Amino acid sequence: MSDKDLMDQEEIFSKVLRAGRRTYFFDVRSTKAGDYYLTITESKKFTHDDGSFHYKKHKIYLYKEDFQAFRENVGEMMDYIIEEKGQEVISERHQKDFKKEEPIENKKDKPIDNFTDVDFDDI
């Protein structure tokens, strides 16, 4: 079997999702036994100072026996995020007036402007 025949056997169905510097590839592939599984690949473009670039890729292999649990967990996580933060994207990149919140541990070192002095002897 040629390399092309092997590639045709493995890649059954593909979709691409472009999202800024990231691209997600969803590929249905075939096992040697003829069953199907899903690969999800995140590819992110990085540019060097000299203008050249490279891609970093991360891949997940998802088999049928895990589909239902994976779908439920992803759905639950997405629902949680939407319920907690809504659909609006909150980030420096997407909002011109975005102000990054300081982590709580950094705030303890700075003076508090709206402090009310309380004398506990009066209680």
Note the pLDDT tens digit of each residue in 51-77.
888 889 999 999 999 999 999 999 999
Q: What pLDDT digit, counting tens, does each position of 23-51 carry?
A: 999 999 999 899 999 999 999 988 888 98
Q: Are 45 and 53 in contact (CB under 8 A)?
A: yes
The two tokens of residue 13 are 């169905």
Domains and CATH numbers, the chain: 7-94 (3.10.450.700)
Q: Is the pLDDT of residue 80 over 90?
A: yes
pTM: 0.62
- For residue 24, list its beta bridge partners: 17, 42
Q: How far apart are CA 66 and CA 70, in angstroms?
A: 6
